[in-house]
Amino acid sequence: MYKKLFGLFSFILLIIFSSRIAAQDSISIQRDTIPEKKEKTGINLAPVKIMQQIAASNLPVLIDGKVAGVTTVRKSGEPGVPAWLLLRGLHAPVSKHSDIYSITPLYIVDGVPLMQNHSFAFGIKQYDYERIGSETDITTALNINDIESIEVLKDPADIARYGVQGVDGVVLINSKKPVPGKYRIGINMYGGIALSPQNIQTANGRYERDFRKQFYDLYANAQQRATFPSYLADSSNTVYYGPADWDEVYYQSGWQHSINAAISGGTERAFFRLGLGNTRENGIMRNTGVDRYNVSAHIGMVPFDNFSINTRIQLALTDRSRNTFLRERFAEQEYVPSSLSPLSPNKEYLTNYYDLLDRWSFDKNQDHFLSGSMTAAYQLKNWNISSFFLMNYHDNNRDLFYPTTINDGNNFASYFIGLDKRTAWKNSISYQPKLGADINLELIGGANMQWDRRKYDYIKGYRGGSDFVKIIAGGSNPSFQDGTIFAFKDYLNHNLISFSAQANLTVKEKYEVNATVNREGSSFFQNGYWWFTSPSLGLAWHLNKELDMSEAFTLFKVKAGAGRSGRLFDNDNYGYGPVYTVDNGYNGAPFIPSYGSIPTLTMPFNRGYTGWGIQWPYADQANAGFEIGINNKWYIAADFYLRQDKNLVAAIPVPSEYGFTSEYKNGLSVKNSGIELNVGSSFGNSEFNWKPNILLHWNQNRITALPDGLDAILSEGRQLKVGERVDAFWLLQNEGIYESDAVVPLNPATNQPLTYYGVAVKKGDPRWEDTNGDFNVDDQDRSFQGNVHPKINGAFNQAFSYKNWELNLLTAFATGKYLINEAVANRFDFVNRETSGSIEGVKEISFWTQIPEIEKYSIYNPWSLVRPYQRDQSLFLEKADYLKLKSVILSYNMKDLQWVKRAKITSMKAYITANNLFTITSYSGRDPELANYMGYDDGYGVPFARSVSLGLQLDF
């Protein structure tokens, strides 16, 4: 359907473009040239013009390193995989992948608040790796070439107008507007290549055998020696002892391109802008990539004076080709085949597997996106009245099949469709009384209603009768050729109503006061707690005008603000108090228990108890800062912020006799404080110019309170303690190895050796610090170390220009960041992982990689009951500071070329862009930016691709 719409809009553009130019002589505004717009600068503004020359398909990747106070979280460099922005720190604990969904900023496109993918689909999966569905970043649907400006709002006075939905900040996106006058066409296109990585240290069976042999020689008994993996036992087996060249078929160089065009024109009474685009970003891992089609339209009318109507619409179709990781496949089908024979590191044999996979299986991932709005505004003397209707629709689909030939004789099929629909009606009225030339007062009142509807349908089938039947037949009685079928669905409604009052006062262009009060009600809360009131206040003082320093200072503004904003829950689990529900079945999926063959419901014993009285969490924020502009040469801006997220809900332990694993209660508080700095300058003359720009962000977070006044809790797998960072690791301190039983400490009270959770420590076990001195190493001896997110991050961006040439260097850095190298921990913990028979024992093709810095790890007894290579110890904690050259952009402005002038081309620029050129880091893993949301680098992150592209921008 979307491709047909794309063709229709192309036809419309052709008609408009080929219509008689002479007809434009009657247009009230005639322009032969469009003056080049100077991009605004500010501590919150992203450089959109530069971003339009970078080959990337989603906004968090493009914004990374370009705005102070923003941290980008990515677990993979694979195109289309969700990336997340954190504004001014981490506002709540992240214990599992679904937690990140509820603490990221609100994206607003032309006044439309976008619905992001929801986390509730995690609830029916056994493994916490991927959300079911296409799992494509929602911002992949947005075309950067249709965007005029991106502003990242963080101050309480700035986000107040967006209510409780903006509690974690707002990314405000404004699209390009129509240009009345003669038809104007803008084109931006590039083509390039993402380069296959060349520095992969591959390994084969000989390397792995030699690695394991040292453990067997030191510690294995006869029974353990008999369990030596059969695939490593025969050195003449070329499947595993042949060439280690798997990377030649696993990685690839991928083509990237983007073609975008837009046309605008009209009169002052009727104007339009239509845009089309296609972007293809192929990944460096085989068969991965994103292909997106965009259509946008903005049509405006002024039927009579002081009354305007504007209609905007954006459409996008996204196809994602995703990875073929074994773990992701097994997690989706919730069935783990035998792992006795892993994939071969030899490309000859590996190609046979991929041929079977490509011939018999399919994995289709598609997203459809629609954002639209209609605004009617009327101005009557000092009054302005506007009504704004909006809608946002998004569906994501995944259609999947795996054959028997690669799945231990069991085929698998599944289909998922998730629907997100938002409609809203926003009304506002403003009044500007005449109070004199030096006083400007605007009073604004608003009333908004918003309706969100989410649902998903998911069906999966096992052991169908034939690999030629690859789909599950639908209808009231779905079937998979006598196979076993499981079906799931969920539906989530949310209604939000808000009333707001705002006053903006400016006196003598020196003093500014902005005050806002919101009263909002949400259906996600319990009876009696539906409503929340959010006040905010912002102040500003223009010292350059107050002290008559305008000659030296083009800008000298001091500002401060404070406010409170409520936090919405992301689901209705807390809104009903104690409820009966389905619980977890044998395969981790919900099931309905029965009594006497009659279906029944139970209490949520495995999920945690929710009682009455769950109230609104909220955030109190304050900031103070300044902006200084000196002689149009220097720009300096700084903000100090203090943010306290209070009354957050956390799962706290309950006595086992209650039957519940935990109880959810308000009372968790997290404090974030920090400084943002933006320093820019300009040096040079009319021919040569150098514009350096430094962005810095320092952040510190602490847990300040826990429910029921507790000092520490283990909540959903993460240890939380008052006074500690919310993103700190909770680890055993590793101090080496016990080389003999004689050096193991003895408890003088019992004359027994040191124990680990009651198990005697022996030769070959780690020296874990017994911090409390009770001669038993356990959770009481763990300490908080490191932190997932950097204490300081920023960028050093430079722009050099010489005549018509311009060179941009974009550099990003971070310090005070730590990761757990789980990938290395898993390699050393081969005994426990392979004997478990679980998904943890799965070996990807990347298993055949040499272990980095292997010599720094002690050779423990891997069969020891203390599990010496468990990940949560200081042995695998590494600093992950980095300095990266993110992008280099060289461009040439061809406006002075004679043939360009003769063609009446308004502007024309050619550019070449290179991305991800180098990284300086002490981290031994693949990339210091790649880890899951809890800070564990499990090795599944696809490396960021080095890419080169050549592009052209022109307007005529």
What is 334-366 written as a DSSP string? T-----SSPPPSSHHHHHHHHHHHHHH-EEEEE
Q: Whole-angstrom Cα distance, residue 149 to residue 198?
A: 37
Beta-carbon contacts of 333 under 8 Å, excluding residues fewer than 6 positions away, are 402, 407, 412, 414, 460, 462
From start to end of 433-546, where are the E strands? 439-462, 484-507, 511-522, 531-542
Q: Give the pTM.
A: 0.92
- Predicted confidence at residue 19, as pLDDT, reads 36
pLDDT tens-digit profile of 647-690?
Answer: 999 999 888 888 888 899 999 999 999 999 999 999 998 899 99
pLDDT tens-digit profile of 153-181?
Answer: 999 999 999 999 999 999 999 999 998 88
Closest to 79 measured CA to CA, from 259, 257, 282: 282
Q: Whole-angstrom Cα distance, residue 830 to residue 210?
A: 14
Alpha carbon separation from 874 to 722, 732, 778 (Å, rounded)? 21, 6, 15
% of the chain surpassing 90 pLDDT? 73
- Predicted confidence at residue 574, as pLDDT, reads 85
Q: What mean pLDDT, rounded, does the chain reach?
A: 89
Tell whether the model's pLDDT for residue 17 goes beyond 60.
Answer: no
- Predicted confidence at residue 583, as pLDDT, reads 59
Sign of CA dihedral 538, 544, 550, 551: negative
| Alpha-helical regions (H) of 616-752 | none
Strand-pairing partners, residue 380, are: 383
Mean pLDDT, residues 615-620: 96
**Residue bearing the bigger pLDDT, 588 or 494:** 494
Please state the separation of Cα 419 from the chain's center in Å.
20
- Predicted confidence at residue 40, as pLDDT, reads 57
Alpha carbon separation from 715 to 146, 169, 488, 583, 651 (Å, rounded)? 43, 26, 28, 20, 5
**Residues 666, 652 contacting (CB under 8 angstroms):** no
3-state DSSP of 13-54: HHHHHHCCHHHHHHCCCCCCCCCCCCCCCCCCECCHHHHCCC
Closest to 675 measured CA to CA, from 789, 787, 792: 792
pLDDT tens-digit profile of 187-205?
Answer: 999 999 999 998 899 999 9
3-state DSSP of 112-167: EECCCCCHHHHHHCCCCCCCCCCCCCHHHHCCHHHEEEEEEECCHHHHHHHHHHHC
**What 3-state class would DSSP assign to 544?**
helix
DSSP label of 570: S
Tell whether the model's pLDDT for residue 598 goes beyond 90.
Answer: no
**Residues 666, 701 contacting (CB under 8 angstroms):** no
Q: Give 382's Cβ-side CA count (13 Å radius).
A: 10
DSSP label of 235: T
Alpha carbon separation from 850 to 206, 207, 250, 767, 827 (Å, rounded)? 11, 8, 16, 26, 10
pLDDT tens-digit profile of 284-322?
Answer: 999 999 999 999 999 999 999 999 999 999 999 999 999
Residue 306 corresponds to which tokens in the numbers above? 């002081």
CA angle at 504 for the pair 499 and 505, rounded to the nearest 5° = 150
From start to end of 579-617, where are the E strands? 583-584, 590-591, 594-595, 598-599, 609-610
Buried residues in 797-822 as b, exposed as e (16+ CB within 10 A): bebbbeeeebebbbbbbbebbbbbbb
**H-helix or E-strand spanning residue 404:** none
**Residues 395, 418 contacting (CB under 8 angstroms):** yes
Tell whether the model's pLDDT for residue 23 goes beyond 60.
Answer: no
Q: Whole-angstrom Cα distance, residue 758 to residue 776?
A: 7
Tell whether the model's pLDDT for residue 492 goes beyond 60.
Answer: yes
pLDDT tens-digit profile of 371-418?
Answer: 999 999 999 989 999 999 999 999 999 999 999 998 888 899 999 999
- Predicted confidence at residue 18, as pLDDT, reads 38
Phi, psi of 545 (to 5 degrees): -90, -35
- Predicted confidence at residue 549, as pLDDT, reads 82
pLDDT tens-digit profile of 771-823?
Answer: 999 999 999 999 999 999 999 999 999 999 999 999 999 999 999 999 999 99
**Residues 72, 84 contacting (CB under 8 angstroms):** yes
- Predicted confidence at residue 28, as pLDDT, reads 35
Sign of CA dihedral 861, 864, 870, 875: negative
Tell whether the model's pLDDT for residue 619 goes beyond 90.
Answer: yes
Q: Which of 103-117, 253-267, 336-350, 603-617 has the lowest mean pLDDT?
A: 603-617
Instruction: Enumerate helices (H) and strands (E) in the chain, giving the number of each.
Output: 15, 47
Q: How many residues does the chain have?
A: 956
From start to end of 593-737, where are the E strands? 594-595, 598-599, 609-610, 618-630, 634-652, 663-681, 683-684, 688-705, 712-715, 718-721, 729-731, 734-737
CA dihedral 2, 4, 7, 9 (to 10 degrees): -60
